[in-house]
Structure 1
Amino acid sequence: MTKVLGLARLNKKLQKLPAAAEAAIRAAMEQGANEIVALMKSLVAVDSGDLRDSIGWTWGERPKYSQAIASVKSADGKLALTIFAGNSKVRYAHLVEFATAAHENGGIYAGTMHPGTKAQPFFFVSWRALRRRTKSRITRAITKSAKAVAAGR
């Protein structure tokens, strides 16, 4: 029977890898989410500021009444991050992003025409602009944590 030199030390290092990688991935995801949210807030049309102030991110599911803009979840489900816009007061993020068509009003304004609104994109342009950078950052974090564990740090 052949004995493998250093096997016990290797196994110890491999046991440390998941925790080290998770911490590095979590930090990279947070940094990416902060960048995406900051870009969204800088691009959104501001009237009262309520929509801008409702944009954010959270670990796990989106807050009640908000609209999920992007969600990322690890294969094991431990790391799930959601970028969102809206709250109980602001439920119109999708109308700002995608526009509204001209339509006849109802209710107390029945019989009048609403001219519609033009699209003022802010969330998907931000997501598309920064998702590749964020994904690369996460990949680098995984590699860096693996190298750190292998080096014994």
Structure 2
Amino acid sequence: MTKITNLDRLNRKLKQLPIVARELIRAEMAKAADEIVGMMKRLAPVLVAPVKDRRSGALRDSIGWTWGAAPKGSVVVAAVASKSDDMRITIYAGNAEAYYARWVEFGTQMMRAQPYFYVSWRTNKRRTVRRLGKAVRDAAKKVAAS
């Protein structure tokens, strides 16, 4: 039978992995969410407000992301969930003022769709998954090097 050398050292490094990985993954998740939200805001139409023909940026301003659950009344584009709420990120649009977020995205019988929400998510989804995978690999390398 072969004896494994430095088993204690390996176990210490393996215990460090979740902590380091969590920090790197959270940073990458936040960076990806910022990029997706930025693209959504650029694509969101600025609608003509019903009061005095002013342009309203309420829809654009309602787009954001948060750790945990989305604010009440918003449309959720994506939620990357985990067992704990501190590793769950939610991208959303809409609020009490911009209640029409769904209607703009999907259209109605009276208005054509002006997609900004899912288009941005689908465009960035593959890159986001790659970045998270890289963060996991980098965490493993960082722990192994220490």
Q: TM-score by structure 1 length?
A: 0.86
Answer yes or no: is 1:128 the counterpart of 2:122: yes
SS of 1:70's equivalent in the other structure is: strand
Q: Following TM superposition, by how much is the alpha carbon of 1:4 offset from its aligned partner in structure 2, in angstroms?
A: 2.2
Aligned ranges for residues 1-153 of structure 1 at < 5 Å?
3-47=3-47, 48-74=56-82, 76-78=83-85, 79-101=87-109, 116-152=110-146
Find the aligned partners of 1:29 and 1:132 in 2 and give their Cα distance.
13
Find the aligned partners of 1:2 and 1:44 in 2 and give their Cα distance.
63
Q: Quick one: which amino acid aligns to residue 148 of structure 1?
A: K
Give every structure 1 segment of 4 or more consecutive aligned residues whose post-TM-superposition deviation is greater than 3 Å: none
Q: Quick one: which amino acid aligns to residue 77 of structure 1?
A: S
Q: Following TM superposition, by how much is the alpha carbon of 1:2 offset from its aligned partner in structure 2, in angstroms?
A: 5.9
Q: Following TM superposition, by how much is the alpha carbon of 1:77 offset from its aligned partner in structure 2, in angstroms?
A: 3.4
What is the aligned partner in structure 1 of residue 52 from structure 2? none
Q: How many residues are matched?
A: 137
Q: Following TM superposition, by how much is the alpha carbon of 1:52 offset from its aligned partner in structure 2, in angstroms?
A: 0.1
Question: Over residues 44-76 of structure 1, what are the superposed CA-to-partner deviations in whole Å (9 max), with x where a residue is unaligned?
Answer: 1012000000000000111112111111113x3
Q: Following TM superposition, by how much is the alpha carbon of 1:88 offset from its aligned partner in structure 2, in angstroms?
A: 1.6
Q: TM-score by structure 2 length?
A: 0.90
What is the aligned partner in structure 2 of residue 112 from structure 1? none
Find the aligned partners of 2:114 and 2:78 in 1 and give their Cα distance.
18
Find the aligned partners of 1:98 and 1:150 in 2 and give their Cα distance.
48
Q: Quick one: which amino acid aligns to residue 15 of structure 1?
A: K
Q: Quick one: which amino acid aligns to residue 33 of structure 2?
A: A
Q: Quick one: which amino acid aligns to residue 139 of structure 2?
A: S
What's the C-alpha RMSD, in Å, of the aligned pairs? 1.2
Name stretches of at least 5 consecutive residues in structure 1 with no aligned partner.
Answer: 102-115
Could you tell me the percent identity over the aligned residues?
A: 52
Q: Following TM superposition, by how much is the alpha carbon of 1:146 offset from its aligned partner in structure 2, in angstroms?
A: 0.2
Find the aligned partners of 1:17 and 1:143 in 2 and give their Cα distance.
10
Find the aligned partners of 2:133 and 2:123 in 1 and give their Cα distance.
18
Question: Over residues 82-111 of structure 1, what are the superposed CA-to-partner deviations in whole Å (9 max), with x where a residue is unaligned?
Answer: 10001121111110011111xxxxxxxxxx
